[in-house]
Structure 1
Amino acid sequence: MTITEPDERWAELGRQECKVLAPYFRAVEHIGSTAVPGLPAKPIIDLMAAHEDLDDVNDDRLETFGYRLQPATMPDRLWFKRENYDSLAFHLHVVPLEGWAVRNERLFRDYLLAHPDACTRYAALKSELMERFGPGAAYTRGKTAFVQEITDAARAELGLPSVPVWEE
């Protein structure tokens, strides 16, 4: 899947989906590039939700909303996907409630929202990488240094130490 020009529907779709999922989690937010107005992105609405205990997340309930559990790709995280009818997908990342306030994904999004220059730089990098590598691992690896830089800046603004952006 390749990046596309920003779609003003993304923010509203993210808000609507958060409302649908809110009763089942302690917190749920729209994260990722589609949560940043004006930022080119893959047409995937990334959501992150917090739950006290990942073992207690009701997979069957989420399946009624079209979410299917995917193989774990990161520790301490459940990952669900929902494909939509118009080439749009929803990814739901469920993480432990502990540490929610300082999740890198949330801090990165908030920094881009507050710093238009960083958002412009990120858009240019994403376009360059997609043109050079296409979708896939090389594209993602190409973004790592920038994502780390911005996440470090966001954490520093809050007096938090740097931590790796990609979970091992």
Structure 2
Amino acid sequence: MEILKLIESDHHIIQVKFMNVEKNSLFVGDIFQTISSMNVNIDMISEVMLEDEMRIDFTCSQDDQKNLDRALSLIRSKHPRMQIYQNRQVAKIKLESHEMKDEVGVAAMLFTLLGKHQIPLLQVTTSEVSISCVIPLEYVDLALSEIQNEYK
């Protein structure tokens, strides 16, 4: 495949996971309003709908750690049932190309390639022209190398 125009990585991120989130748009809106009010710039957001609740993951820059901690403290006090986890030992890799929207199998190739090297996918977001993955920091160089080899 020769469609890939951009491969980038960001080693300077925090992944935040919210567990036991109420399935209610106003509840979710309040969470993100609290984060926004502390001037934290969120990058990737993904959610998983479970039977009685949801899980929400997002990423932000490590530069926002102080403000993030203040926001999470407020969220914990307002929503004590939720479990909140942070992980700084992660990185984001991003594949991007406008040609991806017309190319079949890009995600399949990426996930298979990462799987062959036992690189865990901690979070994935996509658009028509990009795939972003959060992976453990220790695998970033291997992942980038293998992706670049695949897309010579």
Q: Sort the TM-score into its range (normalised by shorter chain).
A: 0.3 to 0.5
Structure with greater helix share of residues: 1
Bigger radius of gyration among the two = 2
TM-score in terms of structure 1 length: 0.32
